[in-house]
Amino acid sequence: MTKPGKCSGPNGVNGVSIEYSKYTKTNPKLAPLGRFGFGSLDISAHPEDDFGIGRISSASFSTYRHLLTPMQIRQAAHADIAAIATLISTANRDVALMFGLNADNCPKHPSFCTDAWVAADLARGERYFIAEENASPIACVAYESPGAGLAYLNRLSVLPACRKRGVGAALVRHIVRVAQADAIQKISIGVIGEHVDLQRWYAKLGFKPGETKRFPHLPFSVIYMTYAVQGGQPIDPALGREAAQLASLDRS
């Protein structure tokens, strides 16, 4: 059984997985470097994105290249249940504190995730994917397809020490590739309506905001966001989207 790992390296750079496709559009000299690890990361996009060190010129990039170690993403197995539960609960504690969530007012919040929750997810057919650095889990995400053409992205969790390095974005893009292989048309997520920063982060990855709803068992609103998957099949019109998403939010 693996345990959640720790991130290391100067300036939080070590362990990032990089795809150079975007960067080399304006920096052709880097094209021969190809692709390292998994996921996709635009290292020239924004001063606060991923590396936290802003735009990197082709001349200065060589300074950081030796600090990068490949990050791997793999599908989880039953042996990973405990590690997944620890990842999810640890990564979501800051959100619980931010919005005043506790076991009384929101017992199903991911910060209270247990082995039993993850085991139930796997038994239902939900798939988990784990991001590892040096063979240690540092993040995870869940993927579920309740009907033709539609999939849910759940439980995206990145250890606090491993954030702002593109790990979460790499997992989201991995889910998009899985959805493409499954002929999915749309990926749906439910986000705390008051968590504006998280909504902006998903929007940068291509998710579009939809309806916002309130539920009597939740102390916050929920905004639904969707990602249109290229090459997907039409969503089954008989699928009860709201009922399925409610079940996703209100499971033990």
Please say if the pLDDT value at position 18 is more than 70. no
Q: How many CA atoms lie within 13 A of 42 on its CB side?
A: 11
Structural domain containing residue 30: 12-65
Residue 153 phi/psi, 5° resolution?
-100, 115
Residues 167 and 80 in one domain: yes
- CA quadruple 142, 146, 147, 152: dihedral sign: negative
- The answer to whether residue 245 sits within a structural domain is yes
Q: Please tell me the pTM assigned to this model.
A: 0.70
Find the helix or strand (DSSP H, E) in which 246 lies: helix 241-249
* Average pLDDT for 120-127: 96
Please say if the pLDDT value at position 51 is more than 80. no
Ramachandran category for residue 200: left, alpha or beta (phi over 0 → left; psi -120 to 50 → alpha) = alpha
Nearest alpha carbon to residue 90 among 35, 39, 157, 42: 157
- The answer to whether residue 5 sits within a structural domain is no
- The answer to whether residue 6 sits within a structural domain is no
User: d(Cα 22, Cα 15) in Å, to the nearest integer?
Assistant: 19
pLDDT bracket for residue 157 (50, 70, 90) = very high
User: d(Cα 164, Cα 187) in Å, to the nearest integer?
Assistant: 23
- The answer to whether residue 84 sits within a structural domain is yes
User: d(Cα 16, Cα 5) in Å, to the nearest integer?
Assistant: 14
106's tokens = 């929101």
65, 95, 110: which is the final residue of a domain?
A: 65
| CATH code at position 179 | 3.40.630.30
pLDDT bracket for residue 219 (50, 70, 90) = very high
DSSP 139: E
Residues 61 and 139 in one domain: no
Residues 153 and 76 in one domain: yes
What does the radius of gyration of the chain's CA atoms come to, in whole angstroms?
18
Residues 117 and 141 in one domain: yes
User: Is 193 within 8 Å of 222 (Cβ atoms)?
Assistant: yes
